[in-house]
Amino acid sequence: MKRLITGGAGFIGSALVRHIIRNTADRVVNVDKLTYAGNLESLAETLADPRHAFEQVNICDRGQLDRVFAQHRPDAVMHLAAESHVDRSIDGPAAFIDSNIVGTYTLLEAARAYWNTLDHDARARFRFHHISTDEVYGDLDDPADLFTETTSYAPSSPYSASKASADHLVRAWQRTYGLPVLVTNCSNNYGPYHFPEKLIPLMILNALEGKPLPVYGQGNQVRDWLYVEDHARALYRVVTEGKVGETYNIGGHNEKQNIEVVRSLCALLDTLRPRTDGRPYSTLITHVTDRPGHDQRYAIDAGKIQRELGWVPQETFESGLRKTVQWYLDNPDWVETIRRRGSPVGAPAGAIAAPQQAPTPIPTP
């Protein structure tokens, strides 16, 4: 089978590409605009593989998308391309409307036009898998509540509102045009190759450089953490075995307060790379003014994907976090590549617009 993956040079997309090339016989058509968060260095092991074709294309460019579909003739689309950073969406929402809403619409129309050219068997095999986020659901007040596939949408930020809009478009294209779609909503991803403006890599890199570790408010916001390679396995399971028209929530079963995450990172670094002055990394933690409209708790009920498709995460938070920290310690060249491109590694996300706040970003897929 041939999978057209949008955003395949991004964090989750590159993990998915690596998973498919390593573990399956499938072919990949990787469509990525290569914005600041897209990095071909994350795909170094796959670029020379004849089963991996890369196309530098903006998903808002209908002409280029039509060419890609006609040239490569994929059996499925796995749509991950998106602007995904909440703080950036607050500072500049236009890019999120363009990429996440207009881009999804353009991709849907290109996919629909291509799907309509297929013969009966190919049409029956085709899938359009839209990868979304649990942030479309807003946040949870009751500590016992969990997001399910039927939770009402209540997005809080320009980012999550744009993703919610994309979700609705995808479902409408099935209802109106019969396009065979699947939707997944995942919790916070972490792991190797994560762009350094996101919480976990930002804390690791700041700590290694002796910089402050800025935490919003008291750091009591709760997130469910999902190791990115577990997510890639789940996405492949859904696109190959999921039921058309269904939504599947994907979570790591790892609810943690942000301050817990940062303290765990500090403790790991104390063991794996102790500071030369002997002081614990936790002394670098600082608390800053909270982000506007900050959701307080996300938590995924991933029971449906376990019951229906047999997927469960392989990593615990502890094992995944240790692998992540060790990866950043072992791969300084990857970080330096990002630095040379002018990305704000080691600086707080949002610093371009509000340097005085030094906010800690909350990772989103």
Distance CA 184, CA 302 (A): 11
Does the active-site annotation cover 149?
Answer: no
In the chain, beta strands by DSSP E: 2-6, 27-31, 52-55, 76-79, 127-133, 181-186, 188-190, 213-216, 222-227, 247-250, 255-257, 285-288
CA–CA gap between residue 67 and residue 199 (Å, rounded): 37
Q: What are the angstrom distances between the C-alpha of 337 and each of 16, 45, 70, 294, 332?
A: 21, 16, 34, 31, 9
Active site residue 134: yes
Q: How far apart are CA 305 and CA 185, in angstroms?
A: 11
Q: Which of 134, 139, 167, 229 is catalytic?
A: 134
Q: Tell me the pairing of strands 255-257 and 222-227.
A: antiparallel
One DSSP character per residue, 299-312 reads: -B--HHHHHHH---
Is residue 53 exposed (0-12), middle (13-18) or buried (19+ Cβ within 10 Å)?
Answer: middle
CB 184 within 8 A of CB 129: yes
Catalytic residue among 32, 87, 135, 290: 135
Catalytic residue at 159? yes
Residue 193: which of 340, 346, 337, 4 has the closest Cα?
A: 337
3-state secondary structure of 216: strand
Report the catalytic residues. Answer: 134-135, 159
